[in-house]
């Protein structure tokens, strides 16, 4: 069964908009686990505009499920944080410091030497590594040569086209997943997945192990409640 990791960045964004500690990010992480989340994802950025580095350290103390830290390893501060906290998984994302949100995967061909080096650093520390990739067959094949344990398929294109032609929207992802399976790469997925498009994606992708969802899940929780929403997403994910 594929796992649901809840990205709590948006909770931190709400907290930071007013200062103080409401909503309490640590308590939300605890509650997400209690309500059935299989993991907690955070993506600390250099300006700490949502999740702060101190949040990561505090969450690491109470995590009982899988902890997934996302970020760009070109930032020495990020690398040091991951090596300090040693989460179950680090997801490497090639976003710039001023990007609103992640919008592309690694060029695993051009950047292969760098990826091999930095992935080796994390794996030597006993941390599972996943790298963000677009659903392009040759990029997935090249990812296998970097030494990564998993890839995370960037799903914005699928989500954007799902309601007009879901078969066409999923096609490149199926091919990418087949290549990943051939190379014994684990498959994660994330970005703009929601309760409406998640089920079809999970049914069609062979070997899907984990999805990381934040924005849509937190938005749905405003209407349906956090516990109910997490269960809705888990049902969508695993039928």
Query: Residues with catalytic annotation?
Result: 43, 70, 191
- Alpha helices by DSSP H, 66-111: 76-85
E strand spans, the chain: 3-7, 39-42, 66-71, 89-92, 128-133, 150-154, 186-190, 208-213
Contact at 8 Å (CB) between 8 and 33?
A: no
The tokens for 219 are: 């938005």
Q: What is the DSSP letter of 22?
A: S
Three-state DSSP state, 84? helix
Peptide bond into 180 cis (omega under 30): no
CA distance 190 to 131: 11
Taken as a whole, the chain contains a residue count of 239
Residues 16 and 223: beta-carbon distance below 8 Å: no
3-state secondary structure of 36: coil
- Sign, CA dihedral 159-160-163-165, equals negative
**Among the residues of 35-165, which ranges form H helices?**
53-62, 76-85, 112-124, 137-144, 156-161
């Amino acid at each position: 069964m594929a796992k649901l990791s809840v990205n709590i960045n948006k909770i931190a964004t709400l907290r930071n908009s007013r200062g103080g500690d409401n909503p309490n990010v640590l308590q939300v992480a605890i509650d997400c686990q209690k309500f059935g989340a299989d993991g907690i994802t955070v993506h600390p950025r250099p300006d700490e505009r949502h999740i702060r580095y101190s949040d990561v350290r505090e969450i690491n103390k109470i995590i009982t499920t899988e902890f997934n830290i996302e970020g760009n390893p070109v930032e020495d501060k990020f690398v040091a944080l991951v090596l300090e906290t040693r989460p179950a998984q680090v997801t490497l994302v090639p976003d710039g410091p001023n990007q609103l949100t992640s919008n592309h995967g690694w060029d695993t061909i051009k950047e292969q030497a760098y990826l091999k080096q930095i992935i080796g650093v994390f794996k030597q520390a006993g941390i599972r590594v996943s790298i963000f990739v677009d659903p392009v067959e040759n990029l997935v094949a090249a990812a296998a040569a970097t030494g990564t344990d998993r890839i995370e398929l960037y799903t914005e294109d699928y989500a954007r086209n799902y309601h007009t032609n879901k078969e066409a929207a999923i096609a490149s992802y199926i091919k990418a997943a087949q290549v990943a399976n051939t190379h014994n790469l684990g498959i994660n997925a994330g970005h703009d997945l929601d309760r409406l498009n998640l089920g079809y994606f999970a049914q069609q992708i062979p070997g899907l192990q984990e999805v990381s969802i934040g924005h849509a899940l937190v938005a749905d929780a405003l209407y349906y409640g956090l516990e109910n929403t997490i269960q809705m997403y888990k049902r969508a994910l695993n039928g």
